[in-house]
Chain A
Amino acid sequence: MTAQGEKSVSQNPAHHAPSRAEEPLFWVSQRAARTVLIALHAVAFFAILMEWIWPFDPNAHAVERVHALDFTASYALYGFFACVILVLLGLILRRLVMRPETYYPDDAA
């Protein structure tokens, strides 16, 4: 969809850089991406360690937990597997519903 209703006021309109340098892994560069990944793992497992050392009071205010998830790192596991299931089901959904860009005649115009 293009921004035809509002004209760009850019003095430097979009153009493509002539060359691509290093193909980054996730982020700015391979190195930065690795740093971010290591930090993410460290903080994530630190969060589990915290719960293991200082267990949560199940009656504390604003704790949201059903009894089925009343064990250490339950939220971590739930978050992880929720995302994996989400992506896998998303891939199946894509097979069912994906069509070419020109599928709707007025979109193609």
Chain B
Amino acid sequence: MIESLPLQLPWFGFAGLPPAWLFFAAAVLVALLQKAEMPRLLLAVLLATPVLGALNLFSMEIGTSWVWQVMELELVQLRVDRLSFLFGLLFHLAALLGVIYALQVKDSQQHVAALVYAGGALGAVFAGDLVSLFFYWEAMAVSSAFLVWTGRNQTSAGAGLRYLTMHLFSGVLLLGGAVMHYQSTGQIAFDYLGTGTLAGGLILLAFGIKCGFPLLHGWIIDAYPNASPSGTVFLSMFTTKVAIYALARGFPGTELLVLIGTIMALFPIFYAVIENDLRRVLGYSMINQIGFMVVGVGVGTELALNGAVAHAFNEVLFKGLLFMSMGAVLLRVGHVLGSDLGGLYRSMPRTTAFCMIGAASISAFPLFNGFISKSMIMSAMIEQGYSWSWLGLLFASAGVFHHAGIKIPYFAFFAHDSGLRVSEAPRNMLWAMGAAAGLCVVLGSWPALLYGLLPWPVSYVPYTYPHVMVQIQLLLFSALAFAWLKLAGIYPPELRSVNLDFDWVYRRLIPSAYRSGKHALVRLSASLSRSAQSSAQSLREHFTAPRKALVLHMETGGAAVLVGVVLAGYLLLYLLSAGGSG
């Protein structure tokens, strides 16, 4: 890793504060200002926080600081190197874009949750030990659940609870792994961990939940489409990227990740083709893109790791932009169902243009930022001989163009005219989308700007004649396939529906198994109770019924005579035995 930071403002003269603290303090301030009913000052604090945070970031130096000694543990609040710096810069940028996008939101709970969430993400990437990482991990989990609940309906309430459960479980795994790691090594430093121990396996699983590994991905497609427009934009920018950072720090070169990442890149594209909710399509698309990054971490060479983190940087911009454009549609129309949209380019031309820039970027068109980072991972795979996975990722590249590059803008803004006539997105949303779109184009056109920030030295040149031409061939012929399938009437129409995914297990299977089990227990209990009652009844009847062998019914006088006879017999026997012995 390069031993100097790419951006520094030395005149600040101090080594910087842990960025998380700034955001946590801002969250408290925003809550107080909301109570004091000072909305203008509140907006100023919201905007100033990421800007001041970035200045704080630029004052940092390589190394560790803010180290707390708690009993035998060294808790490192600020570990600065090129990797943490890159993600720190990314999260400040993401927070600024998210805050601008959400400026029209009057819900202070969302602002507070967003600031705590961004702070948690920053804390996680600058944490130098596993215990501090756990603390920020959980802060992210709780605050982001509040962002899911900003949907303010029953669906988002349920989705938020499921989201929180998954993420708290991830935290439990992380803590368990950290404790085991400490017991076996006596260390809690967050560096390379590997999968050779149970502790490493638990921590990988914890990161995998946050990353959306296959079968652990349900929370992404469950929660992201159910938050408010700006809530989803925030959610899309931090959690999964923190997980990529954590994988790159703790598990570089883990071969298992190549397989996992390839599956992640492939399976969501089939779901995305048939999904009707366009924000859920973007959720699937996010899993697909994270798959590329996971593969990059798994390959583990400098080129692959640079590609993974560069793609994470770019994905925040283009996926954030796509979520922003769908959020603007949701705000204006009230839904983002592909079956009921279409023709919105007439009403929302700027949003349409920004969405198309996001679509071109995620598809990795030359001159857009996806082109300069995705190809780094693909090239590294070829270099290391992962040919089959490479073919899978090439398939996924064509697929992502299909669903995110074509489907999203096509069904939302073009296709048939749905007749919807709405206003253009609010101005602050347009600013945020414009800034993200501008960055997608600038970084795509001048890759050195991003390459200069990467943790390891870069000699990769993306703009060569063959590379540009093969990418154009791949994308244009994918577009031709879409057009021909559409003309032939084979392309699946958008239908109001729900598609079963792994979340079915905990949304239907487990609840219905629980209900069935509960009913079975109730029935068993009732049946036992009935049979016990019936046995008791029959016993009672048995012992109390008339004409039974062991029971003699007689009047009190008769009983007295009987007792007298027995006593007389006893006396007689006694006298006889006494006479005999005398």
- Residues of B contacting A54 in the complex (Cβ-Cβ under 8 angstroms): 465
A82 touches B473 (CB 8 A): no
- Residues of B contacting A18 in the complex (Cβ-Cβ under 8 angstroms): 419
- With A63-B466, A83-B485 in contact, is A75–B417 under 8 Å at CB? no
A106 touches B154 (CB 8 A): yes
Interface magnitude class on chain B: 35 or more
Q: Which residue of A lies closest to B274 (CB)?
A: A94
Q: Report the Cα distance A56→B470, complex, angstroms.
A: 9
- Residues of A contacting B421 in the complex (Cβ-Cβ under 8 angstroms): 12, 14-17
Looking at B38-46, B223-231, B528-536, the stretch in contact with chain A turns out to be B223-231
In whole Å, how far is A23's beta carbon from the nearest beta carbon of chain B? 6
In whole Å, how far is B514's beta carbon from the nearest beta carbon of chain A? 14
B491 touches A87 (CB 8 A): yes
The 7 closest A-B CB pairs, nearest first, are A5-B228, A83-B481, A56-B466, A90-B273, A82-B398, A79-B474, A44-B476
In whole Å, how far is A94's beta carbon from the nearest beta carbon of chain B? 4
Judge if B480 is at the interface, Cβ distance under 8 Å.
yes
CB interface residues, B 402-427, toward A, < 8 Å: 402, 410, 414-423, 426
Please encode chain B, from 272 to 303, with 1 for each CB lying within 8 Å of some chain A CB and 0 for all others: 01100101000000000000000000000000
A100 touches B498 (CB 8 A): yes
- Residues of B contacting A4 in the complex (Cβ-Cβ under 8 angstroms): 151-153, 228
Query: Which among A64, A77, A107 is the interface contact of B467 at CB below 8 angstroms?
Result: A64
B475 touches A79 (CB 8 A): yes
- Residues of B contacting A17 in the complex (Cβ-Cβ under 8 angstroms): 417, 419-421
- Residues of A contacting B461 in the complex (Cβ-Cβ under 8 angstroms): 61-62
- Residues of A contacting B467 in the complex (Cβ-Cβ under 8 angstroms): 60-64
In whole Å, how far is B324's beta carbon from the nearest beta carbon of chain A? 13
Looking at B21-29, B333-341, B550-558, the stretch in contact with chain A turns out to be B333-341
Please encode chain B, from 465 to 487, with 1 for each CB lying within 8 Å of some chain A CB and 0 for all others: 11101111111111111110110
A62 touches B481 (CB 8 A): no
Q: Which residue of B lies closest to A109 (CB)?
A: B154
B398 touches A86 (CB 8 A): yes
Please encode chain A, from 1 to 25, with 1 for each CB lying within 8 Å of some chain B CB and 0 for all others: 1111110111111111110110110
In whole Å, how far is A18's beta carbon from the nearest beta carbon of chain B? 8
Given A68-B387, A98-B274, 14 other A-B contacts at CB below 8 A?
Answer: A1-B279, A3-B330, A6-B104, A9-B331, A14-B333, A17-B417, A40-B479, A44-B477, A47-B472, A66-B391, A78-B474, A86-B398, A101-B496, A106-B158
B226 touches A1 (CB 8 A): yes
B330 touches A14 (CB 8 A): no
CB interface residues, B 236-295, toward A, < 8 Å: 269-271, 273-274, 277, 279
Q: Report the Cα distance A51→B153, complex, angstroms.
A: 54
B483 touches A56 (CB 8 A): no
- Residues of B contacting A80 in the complex (Cβ-Cβ under 8 angstroms): 477-478, 480-481
Query: Which among B104, B155, B419, B482 is the interface contact of A83 at CB below 8 angstroms?
Result: B482
Q: What are 19 of the A-B contact pairs (CB < 8 Å)?
A: A2-B335, A4-B151, A4-B152, A5-B152, A8-B332, A10-B331, A10-B332, A11-B423, A26-B483, A40-B480, A48-B473, A54-B465, A62-B467, A66-B382, A78-B398, A90-B270, A90-B274, A93-B270, A99-B499
In whole Å, how far is B539's beta carbon from the nearest beta carbon of chain A? 46
Q: Report the Cα distance A68→B387, complex, angstroms.
A: 9
Please encode chain B, from 433 to 474, with 1 for each CB lying within 8 Å of some chain A CB and 0 for all others: 000000000000000000000000000111111110111111
Please encode chain B, from 365 to 392, with 1 for each CB lying within 8 Å of some chain A CB and 0 for all others: 0000000000100110010000100110
Query: Which among B420, B479, B492 is the interface contact of A91 at CB below 8 angstroms?
Result: B492
Judge if A65 is at the interface, Cβ distance under 8 Å.
yes
Please encode chain B, from 149 to 190, with 1 for each CB lying within 8 Å of some chain A CB and 0 for all others: 011111111100000000000000000000000000000000
- Residues of A contacting B486 in the complex (Cβ-Cβ under 8 angstroms): 26
Select the residue from A61, A68, A83 with max chain B CB neighbours within 10 A: A83
B483 touches A40 (CB 8 A): yes
- Residues of A contacting B333 in the complex (Cβ-Cβ under 8 angstroms): 14
B481 touches A106 (CB 8 A): no
Q: Report the Cα distance A40→B274, complex, angstroms.
A: 25
- Residues of B contacting A26 in the complex (Cβ-Cβ under 8 angstroms): 410, 414-415, 483, 486
B469 touches A62 (CB 8 A): no
In whole Å, how far is B288's beta carbon from the nearest beta carbon of chain A? 12
A87 touches B227 (CB 8 A): no
In whole Å, how far is B578's beta carbon from the nearest beta carbon of chain A? 89
- Residues of B contacting A13 in the complex (Cβ-Cβ under 8 angstroms): 422
In whole Å, how far is B220's beta carbon from the nearest beta carbon of chain A? 15
- With A37-B483, A75-B470 in contact, is A27–B414 under 8 Å at CB? yes
CB interface residues, B 488-537, toward A, < 8 Å: 490-492, 495-501, 507-508
CB interface residues, A 20-62, toward B, < 8 Å: 20-21, 23-24, 26-28, 37, 40-41, 43-44, 47-48, 50-51, 54, 56-57, 60-62
